[in-house]
Chains A and B, each alone.
Chain A
Amino acid sequence: MEKTLQLLSGNEALALGAYHAGVQVAAAYPGTPSTEILENMARFKDIHAEWSTNEKVAMEVATGAAYTGIRAMASMKQVGLNVASDAFMAASYTGIIGGLVVVCADDPQIHSSQNEQDNRHYAKMAKVPMLEPSDSQEAYDLMAYAFDISEDFDTPVLVRTTTRIAHSKSIVDVKRRRAVKNRQPKFYYDVAKYVMLPVYALPRHALMEERMAKLRDYVETSPLNQVIWGKRDLGIVTSGIAYQYAREVFPDASFLKLTTTHPLPRKLISEFANGVKRLIVIEELDPFLQENIQAMGIEVTGKEFIPGVGELNLRIVAESSRAAGLLPETKSEKVLPPASGLPRRPPLLCPGCPHTGIYFTLNSLGQRSKLAGSKNEEPKLIITGDIGCYTLGAYPPLSVLDTTGCMGSGVGQAQGMEKAGVKTKVVAVIGDSTFMHAGIPSLVSAVYNQAQITIIILDNHTTAMTGHQEHPGTGISAQGKETQAVELESLARGIGVKDIKVIDAFNLKALRAGVRDSLNRPEVSVIIVRGSCAMRVRKRANPRVVNLDKCNQCGACLRLGCPAIQSVDGQVFIEPTLCAGDICTICEQLCPQKAISAPGKNGNTK
Chain B
Amino acid sequence: MKKMNLLITGVGGQGVVLASDIVGEAALAAGFDVKKTDTLGMAQRGGSVVSHVRIADKVWSPLIKEGEVDLLLALEKLEAARWSHFLCPGGIAIINNYEQPPLSVSLGQEQYPTQKQVTEALKRQTDHVYFIDGTERAKELGNVRTLNIFMLGCFSLMSPLKVGIWKETISRRMPENIREINLTAFKQGRKEMEAKRRGAIVV
Q: Do A and B bind each other?
A: yes
- A interface residues, Cβ below 8 angstroms from B: 5-7, 111-112, 135, 164, 167-171, 241, 244-245, 247-248, 313-315, 318, 334-339, 341-350, 389, 392, 396-397, 465, 467, 535, 558, 561, 563, 565-568, 570, 577
- Which of B105, B108, B113 has a CB less than 8 Å from the CB of A341? B113
Q: Is the CB of A164 within 8 A of B63?
A: yes
| Residues from chain A with Cβ under 8 Å of B124 in the complex | 336, 339
Q: How far is the CA of A338 from the CA of B46 in the complex (A)?
A: 21
Q: Is the CB of A339 within 8 A of B121?
A: yes
Distance to closest chain A CB from B65 (angstroms): 4
Q: How far is the CA of A343 from the CA of B40 in the complex (A)?
A: 17
Q: Is the CB of B34 within 8 A of A315?
A: no
Q: Is the CB of B78 within 8 A of A345?
A: yes
Distance to closest chain B CB from A4 (angstroms): 11
| Residues from chain A with Cβ under 8 Å of B158 in the complex | none
Q: Given A171-B33, A343-B78, verify A244-B61 contact (CB < 8 Å).
A: yes
Q: Is the CB of B113 within 8 A of A342?
A: yes
Q: How far is the CA of A315 from the CA of B86 in the complex (A)?
A: 11
Closest A residue to B47 by beta carbon equals A347
In chain B, positions 120-170 with a C-beta closer than 8 Å to chain A are 121, 124-125, 144
Q: Given A347-B46, A392-B45, A558-B107, verify A342-B28 contact (CB < 8 Å).
A: no
Distance to closest chain B CB from A339 (angstroms): 4
Q: How far is the CA of A535 from the CA of B107 in the complex (A)?
A: 24
Q: Is the CB of A169 within 8 A of B21?
A: yes
Instruction: Name 5 A/B residue pairs within 8 A (Cβ), A-sorted.
Output: A344-B102, A561-B103, A565-B106, A566-B106, A567-B108
| Residues from chain A with Cβ under 8 Å of B64 in the complex | 314
Q: B193 on the interface (CB 8 Å rule)?
A: no
| Residues from chain B with Cβ under 8 Å of A347 in the complex | 12, 41-47
Closest A residue to B36 by beta carbon equals A169
Q: B82 on the interface (CB 8 Å rule)?
A: yes
Q: Is the CB of B41 within 8 A of A112?
A: yes
Interface string of B64-82 (1 = CB under 8 A from A): 1111000000000011011
Which 10 pairs across A and B sit closest by C-beta, in order of nearness?
Answer: A343-B110, A347-B47, A339-B121, A347-B45, A168-B37, A347-B42, A314-B65, A248-B60, A336-B85, A168-B62
Q: How far is the CA of A471 from the CA of B37 in the complex (A)?
A: 28
Distance to closest chain B CB from A310 (angstroms): 13
Q: Is the CB of A315 within 8 A of B39?
A: no
Q: How far is the CA of A5 from the CA of B29 in the complex (A)?
A: 9
| Residues from chain A with Cβ under 8 Å of B84 in the complex | 336, 338-339
| Residues from chain B with Cβ under 8 Å of A111 in the complex | 39-41
Distance to closest chain B CB from A558 (angstroms): 6
Q: Is the CB of A389 within 8 A of B67?
A: no
| Residues from chain A with Cβ under 8 Å of B103 in the complex | 346, 348, 397, 561, 563
Q: How far is the CA of A563 from the CA of B106 in the complex (A)?
A: 9
| Residues from chain B with Cβ under 8 Å of A345 in the complex | 11, 46-48, 78-79, 82, 102
Closest A residue to B135 by beta carbon equals A577
Interface centre among B21, B64, B106 (most CB of A within 10 A): B106
Q: How far is the CA of A71 from the CA of B62 in the complex (A)?
A: 32
Q: Is the CB of A336 within 8 A of B67?
A: yes
Q: Given A171-B33, A315-B65, A343-B111, verify A392-B144 contact (CB < 8 Å).
A: no
Distance to closest chain A CB from B64 (angstroms): 8
Q: B178 on the interface (CB 8 Å rule)?
A: no
| Residues from chain B with Cβ under 8 Å of A561 in the complex | 103
Q: Is the CB of B66 within 8 A of A169?
A: no
Q: Given A167-B37, A337-B85, A343-B104, verify A314-B61 contact (CB < 8 Å).
A: yes
Q: B59 on the interface (CB 8 Å rule)?
A: yes
Q: Is the CB of A313 within 8 A of B65?
A: yes
| Residues from chain A with Cβ under 8 Å of B112 in the complex | 343
Given A465-B42, A563-B103, A577-B144, 18 other A-B contacts at CB below 8 A? A244-B61, A313-B61, A313-B65, A335-B66, A337-B85, A339-B121, A342-B82, A343-B101, A343-B104, A343-B112, A344-B104, A344-B110, A345-B48, A347-B42, A347-B47, A558-B107, A567-B105, A570-B108
Distance to closest chain A CB from B118 (angstroms): 8
| Residues from chain A with Cβ under 8 Å of B108 in the complex | 567, 570
Q: Is the CB of A5 within 8 A of B28?
A: yes
Q: How far is the CA of A5 from the CA of B34 in the complex (A)?
A: 12
Q: Is the CB of A558 within 8 A of B41?
A: no
| Residues from chain A with Cβ under 8 Å of B40 in the complex | 111
Distance to closest chain B CB from A144 (angstroms): 23
Q: B190 on the interface (CB 8 Å rule)?
A: no
Interface centre among B21, B47, B124 (most CB of A within 10 A): B47
| Residues from chain B with Cβ under 8 Å of A337 in the complex | 85
| Residues from chain A with Cβ under 8 Å of B47 in the complex | 345-348
In chain B, positions 88-120 with a C-beta closer than 8 Å to chain A are 101-108, 110-113, 117
Closest B residue to A468 by beta carbon equals B44
Q: Is the CB of B82 within 8 A of A338?
A: yes
| Residues from chain B with Cβ under 8 Å of A245 in the complex | 60-61, 63
| Residues from chain B with Cβ under 8 Å of A558 in the complex | 106-107
Closest B residue to A134 by beta carbon equals B60
Q: B189 on the interface (CB 8 Å rule)?
A: no
Q: Given A171-B28, A347-B46, verify A336-B66 contact (CB < 8 Å).
A: yes
Q: Is the CB of B37 within 8 A of A164?
A: yes
Q: How far is the CA of A315 from the CA of B64 in the complex (A)?
A: 9
Q: B25 on the interface (CB 8 Å rule)?
A: yes
Q: B15 on the interface (CB 8 Å rule)?
A: no
| Residues from chain B with Cβ under 8 Å of A350 in the complex | 45-46
Q: Is the CB of A315 within 8 A of B21?
A: no
| Residues from chain A with Cβ under 8 Å of B121 in the complex | 339
Distance to closest chain A CB from B90 (angstroms): 13
| Residues from chain B with Cβ under 8 Å of A7 in the complex | 21, 24-25, 28, 34, 36
Distance to closest chain A CB from B25 (angstroms): 5
Q: How far is the CA of A568 from the CA of B21 in the complex (A)?
A: 34
| Residues from chain B with Cβ under 8 Å of A135 in the complex | 35
| Residues from chain B with Cβ under 8 Å of A392 in the complex | 42, 45
Q: How far is the CA of A171 from the CA of B124 in the complex (A)?
A: 35
